Chains A and B, each alone.
Chain A
Amino acid sequence: MSSFAESKRMPGSEWFKNRPRSLEGVYAGSKSVLQLLYPVLKRILPARFTERVFVWSEEVTKGYLFNCQMCGQCILHSTGMTCPMNCPKNLRNGPCGGVRQNGHCEVIPEMPCVWVQAWQRDAQMGRYGGEIQLLQPPVNRALQNSSAWLNQLEGVDAQRPSGWSTIELE
């Protein structure tokens, strides 16, 4: 087995990921629930506590399912419910040119290329299917190990470097 953190797959997790339609439903559902609850949570719970609970829950759930690397800016639903940070080159916009003829990764030969899987799964998705073609901005490395859910609720993950924003606003 390889020593790459990116290549870890928990038993059974592929079974879930091969059902991206159900997963996107779960994502959409929990997103709306959190959006409803968050303003209340925010008022009654200390921020440090909320942050720790969120980080812990993400590590457990997304860690199991997606081998989440805690980049803090989740785009799973736009990448076929397949974590792009499992790509050892950290690509956010599709596969590199090094994919092996058997569909495996250039860097980790025993691992299927994350992006080959992502593209296949995106094609099966309804609500968010096709979003894989969105141009994803550079990763904000300062958000590493923070909670992607909190960052989304607070709008932090949508912030772009200001040069990048100029062009998107065109």
Chain B
Amino acid sequence: MANPDQASSAGEWALHGGESHLRQVLEAGHFAVTAELNAPDSADAEDVYANVAELGDVCDGINATDGSGANCHMSSVACCALMARAGYEPVLQMGCRDRNRIAIQGDLLGAAALGVRNVLCLTGDDVSAGDQPEARRVFDFDALHLLRTAQIMRDQGVLLSGRKLTTPPEFFLGAAANPFVPPQDLRHLRLAKKIEAGAQFIQTQYCYDVPIFEAFMRRARDMGLHEKVYLLVGVGPLRSERAAEFMRSRVPGVHIPDAVVDRLAKTPRKGKREEGIRICVEIIEEVKQIEGVHGVHIMAYRQEETVPEIVERAGILREKPKE
């Protein structure tokens, strides 16, 4: 891995300018692992590197969130640029809450120039979820407009206005799916539409309810969607039943069944953390068997150090070819 301090010349940045590594892993038929970076509340690049350190060796891609939960952190473009510079494989999360279409297209170009190849196109949590609810919500685009616009920029080499790009960006385009919220029996239709709009990979919301996910995948398979997109299931360790309660009541779109919460509640205090990891590993083992699942996306907010253990125990650690 390159030393971030030395990798500052344009030449070395271009080193990471090739194709998406995540895409190569998926196309080769491997079971992919991505994880979420905890974007720091800091102006220091070292804080990004400190948070990414645990993840780099076990992941095929690392997502930088875009003000997730409507809380401000270091920008996703900056986090991704720093990661790319140090030889990691960033996945840029881009939401529609904070920028209009002009800013979105500009950021996409800038991110591509900084070595970003993977973009996860999101609607974004509402401002009311965060600690600055008085902010203006933008939502000029929805996630599908964003996807299709990124696709147009890549494939047609133009901005939405039709103006030509000298060098179009190379993107591997992703979208989110949340099979766990209403209307559950129609969520596969939204997936189909996102694929039509340009999604090549999907990262789902936290999966704590495998039966719901299985039903979703059955419907998706009936439409042949599993052959059109790479799907990574969102998972994550729960620290305690209190953390679970907080997440399901306060974080938009998170569904955690009572059985999971009870299991944590019944575990003695000292063992809760381990139990949370065990639940996460079990879920990975289950979803891995489902046809159409191509990997997992581990979101271990402020527990990044658990990610290598989870990957190892779930038996999805892959020997990485030396770079």
Which residue numbers of A lie inside 8 Å of B, CB to CB? Answer: 88-103, 106-107, 113, 116, 119-120, 132-133, 135-139, 141, 161-164, 166-167
6 interchain residue pairs of minimum CB distance: A162-B162, A97-B178, A98-B252, A163-B160, A93-B144, A97-B253
- A113–chain B nearest beta-carbon distance, Å: 7
Specify the chain A residue showing the minimal Cβ separation from B127.
A107
Take A97-B252, A161-B162 as given contacts and tell me if A89 and B126 are in contact as well, using a CB distance cutoff of 8 Å.
yes
A116: chain B residues at CB < 8 Å are 182-183
Take A98-B125, A133-B189 as given contacts and tell me if A93 and B158 are in contact as well, using a CB distance cutoff of 8 Å.
no
B161 & A138 in contact (Cβ 8 Å cutoff): no
A99 & B181 in contact (Cβ 8 Å cutoff): yes
Given contacts A97-B176, A119-B189, A167-B152, 18 further A-B contacts (CB under 8 A): A88-B126, A88-B139, A89-B126, A90-B140, A91-B139, A91-B142, A99-B183, A106-B129, A132-B189, A135-B144, A135-B197, A138-B140, A138-B141, A138-B149, A161-B162, A163-B153, A163-B161, A166-B158
Give bound CA distance, A92 to B96, whole Å.
13
B123: chain A residues at CB < 8 Å are 89, 91, 96-97
Interface presence of B239 (CB below 8 A): no
Q: Mark B245-269, 1 if CB is under 8 A from A, else 0.
A: 0000000110100000000000000
- A20–chain B nearest beta-carbon distance, Å: 16
B193 & A90 in contact (Cβ 8 Å cutoff): no
Interface presence of B30 (CB below 8 A): no
B193 & A93 in contact (Cβ 8 Å cutoff): yes
Which residue numbers of B lie inside 8 Å of A, CB to CB? Answer: 96-97, 101, 123-126, 128-129, 137, 139-145, 148-149, 151-153, 155-156, 158-163, 176-178, 181-183, 186, 189-190, 192-193, 196-197, 205, 252-253, 255
B181 & A97 in contact (Cβ 8 Å cutoff): yes
Give bound CA distance, A155 to B162, whole Å.
20
Specify which of A95, A101, A119, A163 is in contact with B156 (CB 8 Å cutoff).
A163
A89 & B162 in contact (Cβ 8 Å cutoff): no
Give bound CA distance, A57 to B124, whole Å.
35
- B178–chain A nearest beta-carbon distance, Å: 3
Give bound CA distance, A47 to B153, whole Å.
39
B101: chain A residues at CB < 8 Å are 138
A136: chain B residues at CB < 8 Å are 144
B137 & A167 in contact (Cβ 8 Å cutoff): no
B137 & A89 in contact (Cβ 8 Å cutoff): yes
What are 11 pairs between A and B in contact, CB < 8 Å?
A92-B144, A94-B190, A95-B183, A99-B183, A106-B125, A106-B252, A119-B183, A133-B193, A163-B153, A164-B149, A167-B151
B162 & A166 in contact (Cβ 8 Å cutoff): yes
Give bound CA distance, A167 to B150, whole Å.
12
Take A106-B126, A138-B101, A164-B152 as given contacts and tell me if A90 and B182 are in contact as well, using a CB distance cutoff of 8 Å.
no
Specify the chain B residue showing the minimal Cβ separation from A90.
B139
A120: chain B residues at CB < 8 Å are 183
B125: chain A residues at CB < 8 Å are 98, 106
B252: chain A residues at CB < 8 Å are 97-98, 106
B253 & A98 in contact (Cβ 8 Å cutoff): yes
- A59–chain B nearest beta-carbon distance, Å: 23
A135 & B148 in contact (Cβ 8 Å cutoff): yes
- A30–chain B nearest beta-carbon distance, Å: 28
Specify which of A106, A141, A166 is in contact with B140 (CB 8 Å cutoff).
A141
B141: chain A residues at CB < 8 Å are 138
